Amino acid sequence: MIINVHAQDANIAAAVHGTKDEMDMGAGDQGLMFGYATNEWDKETLHPYSHVLSNLICEEMAIQRKNGQIPWLRPDCKSQVIVEYEKLEKGNVKPVRVYNILISTQHDPSVTNEEINKTLTE
């Protein structure tokens, strides 16, 4: 096993929180890479259905944060959507149902987990 941990790059730190207002801070240099081309859903982007849904969730959260609909949301969020597939002929698959949705979001410290759960579920 190789573990490689190091300090955050100074340029990233400055861009993320160095001169930012508390309401506009991000989380830093974390990232989630996802990738394989497929024609299962989006014929233009060739993204898997789970990725399309996950992006739509994050986009909607940004919209509701910016328009004040969910005032306790902060800019950093992540989403994961797990889709169950049916195997078809010739190696093709068809989405059958969404199995699980995970949302992780930065939020105002005063909001309760109950409120976060209720709002994001809605």
pLDDT the model gives residue 91: 78
Fill in the DSSP letter of residue 110: T
**Residue 77 near residue 55 (C-beta atoms within 8 A):** no
Position 56 scores a pLDDT of 93
Summarised one tens digit per residue, pLDDT across range 23-76 is 665 555 555 555 666 767 667 777 888 888 999 999 999 999 999 999 999 988
Tokens of residue 4, six digits = 């490689």
Contact indicator for 77, 105 with CB cutoff of 8 Å: yes
**For the residues 110-119, what does the mean pLDDT come to?**
91
- What domains does the chain contain, in order, with CATH numbers? 34-121 (3.30.300.10)
